[in-house]
Amino acid sequence: MKHFLTLADLDSGTLREILELAVQIKQTQRAGTSKAYLADKVLGMIFQKPSLRTRVSFDVAMLQLGGNALYLSPNEIQLGQRESTADVARVISRYVDVVMARVFGHHDVVELAQHASVPIINGLSDYTHPCQGMADFLTILEYKGGFDGKKLAYLGDGNNVATSLLFGAALLGMDYTIATPKHYALHPATWLLGQRLAAQTGAQLVATQDPIEAVTDADVIYTDTWTSMGQEEEAARRRLVFPAYQVNEDKLRRARKDAIVMHCLPAHRGEEITDAVADGPNSAIFDQAENRLHAQKAILVWTLDAA
């Protein structure tokens, strides 16, 4: 059973294999020679959180791969409320071939995987966002041609996206510097796991509170919203803490001339990123958003051994 819960569950070779598959699938789609890898397969999509990119990209991915997707709203499946998560996993496994779950708590996707008889894909949890991570590294691969010797700088909150970038960079041998305000760093256990993965590839990992240190000579600058879904009561306090971490033209000037800027969206323009950078010549944001589609196709094909 191939579940896709966190990039840290993969080894470097498997991560590269999925990325190469994504490149291949994207190329054939654009050439009009795509293959119906998942003909007659059905994806069940469990949503506790709303989403533009996750909903549309998975739905379109299954359609273009020859299969179908079934959307299950928060009101239809209330994990652990109307019935146990274990029972949901056992029941939905009888109907579909693969499940994507976008949840609040990571424990929910873990429990789904423990009891399901079909692959479970983590579409987002509070711990990590591996589907976004795959799209991110696909984008970096396209722009930079590889990962060795490249520096990825992340500015902002030590959240689920920052965690996926840590794990992916460590596995791919890409240097990763994360700059967060005090009290908003990645959890020590998460950082330790990243270090263990990096020890296998030689990736250099740096955690700092200095955003200028992070962006200096960076090949990629990445940011995300300062307040994630479910943290709305913290928004006002966070807006006082994070302005120094805004990705703007001054910070971009400190990176390499051909640096790209990334954001997983939705963006709060004027907060974590300025319009001038988000819409400027160094922005890869919308290529990155498109790559959710291609990366997730590869994830679906990989989990179902359909390549």
Name the active-site residue from 3, 48, 53, 102.
102
Is residue 292 among the annotated active site residues? yes
Instruction: Report the distance separating Cα 111 and Cα 105, nearest Å.
Output: 10
Catalytic site residue 132? Answer: yes
Other beta carbons less than 10 A from residue 223's beta carbon:
29
Sequence-ordered list of residues with C-beta below 8 angstroms from that of 67, at least 6 positions apart, any chain: 38, 39, 40, 41, 42, 43, 97
Q: Which residue of the set 53, 264, 288, 296 is catalytic? A: 264
The DSSP output letter for 232 is: G
132, 246, 288, 296: the catalytic one is 132
Question: Active site residue: 3, 48, 108, 129, which one?
Answer: 129
Q: Which residues of 182-207 are buried (b: 16+ CB within 10 A; e: fewer)?
A: eebbbeeebbebbeebbeeeebebeb
CA distance 103 to 122: 8
224, 238, 246, 288: which is the annotated catalytic residue?
224
Instruction: Write out the H or E segment, with its range, that includes residue 302.
Output: helix 285-303
Is-catalytic flag, 250? no
Helix residue spans in 79-234 (DSSP H): 85-92, 106-115, 130-144, 160-172, 188-198, 211-215
Map residue 61 onto helix, strand or coil.
Answer: helix
Check 3, 238, 263, 292 and give the catalytic one.
292
305: left (phi over 0), alpha (psi -120 to 50) or beta: left
Place of tokens 């913290």: 234
**Would the CA dihedral through 214, 12, 149, 286 be positive or negative?**
negative
126 is catalytic: no
Helices (H), 12-129: 12-31, 53-64, 85-92, 106-115
Cβ 215 vs Cβ 255: under 8 Å: yes
Give the containing element (helix H, strand E) for 236: helix 235-241
Indicate which residues carry an active-site annotation.
Answer: 102, 129, 132, 224, 264, 292
